[in-house]
Amino acid sequence: MLTGLHFLLSYKCDSECDHCFVYSGPQATGTFTLAQVKDALSEAARIGTVEMVYFEGGEPFLFYPLMLEGIRTARDLGFKTGIVTNAYWATSEEDAELWLRPLRDLGLSDMSISDDAFHYEGEDASPARRALSAAGRLGLPCGSISIDQPRIEEGADEEQLRGKSVIAGGAVLRGRAVEKLAAGLPRRPWQEFTECPDEDLRNPGRVHLDSYGNVHLCQGLSMGNMWDVPLSQLVSQYDADLHPVCRPLLQGGPAQLVAEYEVSHEDAYVDACHLCYLARRALLDSFPQYLAPGQVYGLG
């Protein structure tokens, strides 16, 4: 049952992090208009099961007035609201309160702030820490997201690594992470990746929306396009067994996907996401309706 809606308010970001699975950065394009946000929220209300609406990106605070109006509209429709941000705007605690006070007044339900070496390496008094402190004083529900460089988990022995790579850090090998973070990590034979471990493709509990209309089941794997078919209709008609990419993933994971569509591939990969992402990138021209946008595959 779909209960969460996540707006990728923009692919644009002030940062260009190695772990970013949508290839965000200062040069990225693709930003919602207010009319598009309102249209998507109206459709979300028609679905009837959505409870929580998040605004993220990219970096949603780059489009602060749009984000505020989106949150206000979502609240008025009865949704709880949240934000994911890197807090670049928290240049001082006083300024952080200035940015956050309107969000408190709108009744924001949750805010997640990226606070790790990818964003603020070596900064003890980082913008993220200032924002967390300011949010606490304002009574805003707020927590941090911390992701580290992928590495072999401490204590993993040779026997474990032969069977299943034990990778710590939390970074997902999709998007820019495949290019930047996969080198040097232990790999397993491609035939072992027989399931999707991270996403419920049959009964998704949340989807991500972008301004191009893509309704992401996983970043770059779309249910369809909500500008072509209304979101409520897309959700009600979605059948994973009829989806040309989700079906093989459900039947046998990324290994089935590459085998069924005869995707040229290497012998071994770090994890299922690693193989799945590269397989989907190779299939972009075959399924442009479902594997989009190019931005998420480094082609934007």
pLDDT tens track for 46-59: 999 999 999 999 99
How does 266-299 read in b/e, with b if 16+ C-beta sit within 10 Å? Answer: eebbbbbbbbbbbbbbbbbeebeebbbbebbbee
pLDDT over threshold 80, residue 122: no
Residue 193's pLDDT band, with cuts at 50, 70 and 90, is very high
> Once rounded to an integer, what is the mean pLDDT over residues 69-96?
97
Contacts of 224 (CB under 8 A, 6+ apart): 215, 234, 238, 289, 290
Q: Decide: 255 and 275 in contact? Cβ < 8 Å.
A: yes
The DSSP secondary structure of 262-290, one letter per residue, reads T----SEESSHHHHHHHHHHHTTTT-TTT
Q: Decide: 231 and 37 in contact? Cβ < 8 Å.
A: no
Q: Which two tokens stand for residue 230?
A: 């209304």
> Once rounded to an integer, what is the mean pLDDT over residues 145-170?
53
pLDDT over threshold 50, residue 163: no
Instruction: Report the distance separating Cα 199 and Cα 280, nearest Å.
Output: 15
DSSP state of 297: G
pLDDT at 53: 98
Higher pLDDT pick, 168 / 59 = 59
- Residue carrying the six token digits 């598009």: 36
Q: Which of 12, 173, 34 is nearest to 88 (CA)?
A: 12
Higher pLDDT pick, 115 / 91 = 91
- What is the rounded average pLDDT for all residues in the chain? 91
Q: Percent of the chain, pLDDT > 90? A: 79
The residue type found at 283 is L
Q: Percent of the chain, pLDDT > 70? A: 88
The residue type found at 18 is D
pLDDT at 82: 98
Instruction: Report the distance separating Cα 19 and Cα 15, nearest Å.
Output: 11
Instruction: Report the distance separating Cα 61 and Cα 83, nearest Å.
Output: 9
pTM: 0.90
Q: Which two tokens stand for residue 251?
A: 């039947």
pLDDT over threshold 80, residue 145: no
- Give phi and psi for 134, each to the nearest 5: -65, -40
How does 88-118 read in b/e, with b if 16+ C-beta sit within 10 Å? Answer: bbbeebeebbebbeebeebebbebbbbbbeb
pLDDT at 190: 97
